[in-house]
Amino acid sequence: MPLASVLFVCLGNICRSPLAEAAFRAAADAARLPVEVDSAGTGGWHAGDPPDRRAIAEARRHGVAIGDYRARQIRAEDFTRFDYIFALDHSNLKDLQAITPANATASVGLLMDLVPGRAGQPVADPYYGGPDDFAETWADVSLAAAMLVQRLRG
């Protein structure tokens, strides 16, 4: 029985949310926290695809292999299956709120609200950016992952 189940959600599920999933898996493993983790996109255009190659490279730099992650679109049962659903930006959060079913039990929020001093901030979409943007994504999601581990431990 996991201590908590967590779903990270961005637009395509090929850049930001796979990195958030990877960072949180790594942080939870290091803390020996038994968690269930997944990620999804609000959109389904990339369903079945591996993460963006730049996201794979960024995760690899931090010792996490994500090449066998596969993108999927969020579905109604995610709102009862997971304890926490974290949106990577405001648009993702708005889209999640629009499809939250009446029987939802998950707590739905913005990822960076976990980080003191960063509340209300988005994790910027690196899709049209370069390697530096993916490094910034990693920095953001790993900060949030560390705070989430701390919170679940507490």
Question: Which positions lie near ligand 4NP, rule CB under 6 A?
Answer: 10-16, 45, 125, 127
Q: Which is nearer to ligand 4NP, 12 or 22 (CB)?
A: 12
**Given 38, 89, 95, 125, the catalytic residue:** 125
Q: Is 128 exposed, middle or buried (0-12, 13-18, 19+ CB in 10 A)?
A: exposed
Taking the complex as a whole, the smallest distance from the CB of residue 93 to ligand 4NP amounts, in Å, to 13
Residue 10 annotated in active site: yes
**Given 10, 15, 95, 140, the catalytic residue:** 10
Distance CA(20)–CA(151), nearest Å, equals 16
Residue 16 annotated in active site: yes
Runs of H (alpha helix) within 31-130 = 53-61, 78-81, 90-99
**Residue nearest to ligand 4NP according to CB distances in the complex:** 12
Residue whose tokens read 């690196």: 126
Q: Which residues are catalytic?
A: 10, 16, 125
